[in-house]
Homo-oligomer: A and B are copies of this chain.
Amino acid sequence: MKLYDLEPSGNCYKVRLFAALTGIKLELEAVDFLAGMHKQSPVIDLNPWGELPVLVDGEISLRDSHAILIYLAKRYASADWYGETAAEQAEIQQWLATSANEIQHGPGAARLVDKFGYDLDKGRALGTASRVLGLLESHLSNNRWLACDRPTIADCAVMPYVALAWEGGITLDDYPAIQHWIGRIKALPGFIPMSGL
């Protein structure tokens, strides 16, 4: 099973982290992003979006980090990670949505501006970040994990760009519950870091 990977991508790290936590073996294929290799064969053939990560498992190829998390969890990991009931999977999906939306366009976008020079609206990103971090802090003040009272793919999806927020000039000083939650994830058996985290 091969993961087309980019080390500093939080979206790629979500997959590497989940695989590490669950003992899933991935062959990492580093893609030279600066050389534009994600827009060329073989990546563009596997994913017309030209984005990373891409997972290839036999005949199956998947784009989008959250789709990959669901695939790996459901096929290769304990059912705890994605749940089995409609209620649990929907509860987890709410946080995948938050990750794809407010987290990506808040702290994720601020980091793209500061660290990689992307032409995005930094002010809007900071506003989105402030709002979602407040909601996250409130939730984590009453819950040890994002969903289902246990570690799930929701934590793997949301944590990376929150923990990397400082690279977009955003401090977590005012969010102690978020800091403690990041600490709990870091303490999970098998945890691996990425650069900046």
Contact = CB atoms under 8 A, between A and B. Distances in A.
Interface string A81-122: 000011101110110011011001100000000000000010
Nearest to A72: B86
A97 B66 contact: yes
Interface in A50-75: 60, 62-64, 66-68, 70-75
A142 to B, nearest CB: 11
A102 to B, nearest CB: 9
Given A48-B138, A100-B101, A138-B48, A75 B86 contact: yes
Contacts of A197: none
Interface in A147-163: none
A37 B191 CA distance: 43
B75 A91 contact: no
A147 to B, nearest CB: 10
B90 A70 contact: yes
Oligomeric state, in number of copies? 2
A152 to B, nearest CB: 13
Contacts of A90: 60, 62, 67-68, 70-71, 74
A63 B101 CA distance: 13
Contact of A87 (B71, B85, B94): B71
B64 A97 contact: yes
B70 A93 contact: yes
15 contacts: A60-B90, A62-B91, A64-B97, A64-B98, A67-B91, A67-B93, A67-B97, A71-B89, A72-B86, A74-B85, A75-B85, A75-B86, A101-B101, A101-B104, A121-B121
Given A48-B135, A64-B97, 8 more contacts: A48-B139, A60-B90, A66-B93, A66-B97, A70-B89, A71-B90, A97-B100, A100-B100
